[in-house]
Structure 1
């Protein structure tokens, strides 16, 4: 693939969608750890940062992250940081090309200068929080400094990997990141290219394509297969959340993969995905044969209906025996946990199951839900 500098032209519709999702994810994620009492530092990494803007002046990911960190026109996050003097935020913007990195630094520092002109606060909490690096990603992520940050349980980490293609997130990197506490990751994959070049030794250096059953998916489902491949790299006993969002551009399919070690983190990511795609929370096109946008095929069921049916079977077979297991299972299927709550209370109304303990309809912040048992009659 010939590498194109996307900052030298205007962002296309798919890139704009991708950036909007980045914005939404960070908007959901950032205040959680900003207000978290057991977090000493918040680290935000944009590992393939670019130069900050496109040719039309539209914001790239670094500006999006910085502006979201301010907390809107009222600068509510800035106010929080100024009050919490013991909380530190560090941004690392990594761009390998020196000229683009210098341009990015100028763009972001100019942004803060302009921001100060209309700011009601005397001090800016972000004036000394930005670091600019110019390293290859594999070298940077494997430095002792970054590894120590990753393994620190009192540091929250948001890692954005808007890689070109697919070669940066190999097995070693993926396992390093998902085994890091308080670390949430969003990474891009050019999924169609993985399939197209699946037999190339160069591709197999990064993704073991022999472990993917390419025949079981249509082109638009390839990104889901890539997500399942990464899922297979996790230990079977590891409780972890991955979600895929597919984006179509021309005849090619790309996508984002969201990774979180906590249900609350995945709830936040899922909220963004379902806002973009109210039908299935998984694409800007129809994936998986579900009833989608303006479909004229009523025989196709919706994503929610499909998950409801699967949950009913698992509950009635005795495989799901508590609300906690069911809520997390629904989330791992790419649905909001409410679908599980609706399903079990419908079954209870039908007289198929009963509850032991104190039943509740908690469907958000599910890590706080009080457990009760589900018994099949």
Structure 2
């Protein structure tokens, strides 16, 4: 449904749409949140993820992510929504599609996640020697990007050097 709504938007639209499901008794109600301003998007996503830290899409485990830590019949582990996001972010950073905190926050919002998910991933990448950036934090927050207008570049490390 959300895909059909997005298709109806003009190509030039900056409107971001996010689905959220509410379970009350046996009923499930769907709502769509839409906003153009990054602060509204950031606030909505932070509230949604604080209500459900497993997948942020509903007030219940809509994707059965809590069961995905088990291996399937073939010994493969299904990734949770957060694990998939971190894997995609890592790939985009290493492919230089995301080179700084501004691009990272845009990707975070586009994917319906919160800055903490990206920060955790980027800190892990720095710890593993895959990337480097100045300071301790990758600065993937609304405050750093829009309010304080801080830009932090991520440098790819190759064979232990930058």
1:264 deviates by 0.8
Q: Which residue of 1 aligns with 2:65?
A: 291
Structure 1 gaps, min length 5: 1-225
Distance in 1 (CA, whole Å) between partners of 2:36 and 2:60 is: 28
- Match of 2:73? none
Q: Secondary structure at the match of 2:32?
A: strand
Which residue of 2 is the match for residue 196 of structure 1? none
- Residue of structure 1 equivalent to 2:131: 353
Q: 1:316 aligns with which of 94, 97, 121?
A: 94
RMSD of aligned Cα (Å): 2.9
CA separation of 1:358 and 1:345: change in aligned 2, threshold 3 A: closer
Number of aligned residue pairs: give it. 149
Residue 57 of structure 2 is aligned to residue 282 of structure 1: yes
Aligned twin of 1:170? none
Alignment-derived partner of residue 242 in structure 1: 17
Q: Which structure's relative contact order is higher, taking Cα pairs within 8 Å and 6+ residues apart?
A: 2
1:358 Cα deviation after fit: 10
CA contact (8 A) 1:227 1:242 kept: yes
Match of 1:330, SS?
Answer: helix
The 5 Å alignment of 1:1-377 reads 226-248=1-23, 253-288=28-63, 290-292=64-66, 295=67, 297-298=69-70, 299-355=77-133, 360-365=138-143, 366-368=145-147, 369-377=149-157
Q: Distance in 1 between matches of 2:137 and 2:13?
A: 27
Q: Structure 1 residues 311, 236: closer, same or farther in 2, change over 3 A? A: farther
Cα displacement string for residues 86-125 of structure 1 (whole angstroms, at most 9, x for unaligned residues): xxxxxxxxxxxxxxxxxxxxxxxxxxxxxxxxxxxxxxxx
Judge conservation of contact 1:338–1:364 (CA < 8 Å) in 2: no
Could you tell me which runs of 5 or more consecutive residues in structure 2 were left unpaired when the two chains were aligned.
Answer: 71-76, 158-162
TM (normalized to structure 1)? 0.35
- Write the distance in 2 (CA, Å) between the matches of 1:256 and 1:283: 10
1:167-222 deviation per Cα after TM superposition (whole angstroms, max 9, x unaligned): xxxxxxxxxxxxxxxxxxxxxxxxxxxxxxxxxxxxxxxxxxxxxxxxxxxxxxxx
